[in-house]
Amino acid sequence: MNPTELSTLMRGATNDLEPTPDFARQVLLGSRRRRTRRRLTMAASAAVVAAIAAVTSVVVLDDNTPHVADARLTAPTKGDLAGDQTFLGEATSAWRNGLSIAPEAALGVYDDRRGDPHVYWAGNTPAGRAAIVLQEVYVHDEAQVPDSETGRRTAEGLIAVDPRDGKLKLVGTRVVGEEQLGRADYYKFGPDDRTLLIVDEGKPLYYTYRFAYELSEYGVVESSTLEWHRAEPRDGVALVRIPENVNGIVTVAYQGNHPPAKVDWAAIPHDFYVRRMAMASRYLARRIPSPDFRTSFLPWKQTWEVGAPLGLSPAERDRLRGRDDNLLLGGPDYVSAWVVFARLDDGRTVALQETQNRTGMPELTVLVIRPPDNTTTMDNIGSVGSVGAADQGAVLPVRFRIPSGGGWIVADKGKQLSYRTAPDGEWQDAGRDAALLPDNATEVKVDGETVALS
């Protein structure tokens, strides 16, 4: 799934949904329905390159063991500029300024910084002077990220020259130990983002920028065949210059002894995990307007599946809802930590969550994927768009009527739900937190308080 497909999906949106005028900005995800899987080669066309942009980096999967102090925070600075105190001061200053407006700062990730920033590496690169800077942060439960991404973490970022104005800036970040948030196992920067820097974590390093892939029935990149090159680190990092004759968007890195020839993205083997791209040009374009900007989603951190079982892996669910794509091309800047998936009796799959851009307020966004068939026309894909906003002060903050008789999705975390289909009808239990109700439901009871559906 990727933002390019989302733009295409807009053209095939059905009459069942009425997107807002700024629909293009709110597009979340799309998928090309395929009953058979298609193998595509990256060199085939630029469109193919864009189609896999959402899954272009790999790293050894972190576990959730208790936090151990990061030894790098106190290690001597490495690199050929390690003794340049003037440059180290400039890098530290750029870190402090940049971290306050980093894209993930809007989620509350950097609100509690611990200790002083530490320059782990400083050196010359094909794109000029650069530095890797580290600082411990504590991600509180109130941050709008999944619970698995809270606690003590090491924030890491690349300071490099912005080719547009020649100034040192924070051009990419990751939070070591998290599952997905802001994560990149390498950074791409400089003119056209063609300088690749991989942080050496003590494992053999490999990279590739050419590979083939297959799509699942949901349009998700399911598996990839890769050709690897060994990267040789020096003083804590490996530097690679991406050739001019290849598309720099497509890059994959691997840390470990045995890089596989094929990656099963849907299964996500234990030594792999999908990461976002770390392209400096896009990172800089996604910085928040001010250090005070924060997202304002409902404070939920759950994934609920209602209706028939979806049969999706955790990785497929994340990709389907757009969590891997929201710093890439064309999608919303942020997606909520909660989502409701519903599989309908007619085979449609619905995903409902909140999205937000830096210049707007949170909105409920719905993705409707139609059941597989043998056609490939855009009319048979589905539709995606904004359907208003959640009412955070309401007894039932989330309620959405699925088009074409699909029923109602309702949600209120921690609340017991029931419904009825007539004013004097019997109440039917709908479980807790979230539910898929029949289309003729007229009222919902939320912990004993009745709400009319309309």
For residue 118, what are its two tokens?
């530490």
Name the domain boundary from 285, 309, 324: 285
**pLDDT (tens place) for every residue of the chain, 454 residues total:** 333 333 333 233 323 333 333 332 233 332 222 222 222 222 222 222 222 232 333 333 233 444 567 889 999 999 999 999 999 999 999 999 999 999 999 999 999 999 999 999 999 999 999 999 999 999 999 998 878 788 999 999 999 999 999 999 999 998 876 554 554 568 999 999 999 999 888 888 888 876 555 555 555 555 566 778 899 999 999 999 988 887 766 677 778 888 777 665 544 433 333 344 578 998 998 899 999 999 999 999 888 999 887 777 666 666 666 554 433 345 678 889 899 999 888 888 888 999 998 888 999 998 887 765 543 333 334 556 788 899 999 999 999 999 888 999 999 999 999 999 999 999 999 999 999 999 999 999 999 999 999 7
Q: Which domain holds residue 296?
A: 3-34+292-452
Residues 277 and 300 reside in one and the same domain: no
* 151 within some domain: yes
Residues 162 and 228 reside in one and the same domain: yes
* 39 within some domain: no
Residues 100 and 246 reside in one and the same domain: yes
* 12 within some domain: yes
Residues 279 and 297 reside in one and the same domain: no
Residues 91 and 232 reside in one and the same domain: yes
Residues 232 and 348 reside in one and the same domain: no
Cα separation of 277 and 248, whole Å? Answer: 11
Residues 330 and 347 reside in one and the same domain: yes
Domain tally for the chain? 2
Residues 281 and 243 reside in one and the same domain: yes
* 59 within some domain: no
Name the domain boundary from 243, 258, 285: 285
Looking at residue 147, its amino acid is D
* 57 within some domain: no
* 40 within some domain: no
Residues 175 and 255 reside in one and the same domain: yes
Name the domain boundary from 242, 265, 285: 285
Q: Is 0.95 topped by the overall pTM?
A: no
Residues 276 and 371 reside in one and the same domain: no
* 61 within some domain: no
Residues 93 and 156 reside in one and the same domain: yes
Residue 69: CB atoms within 10 Å: 10
Residues 265 and 371 reside in one and the same domain: no
* 62 within some domain: no
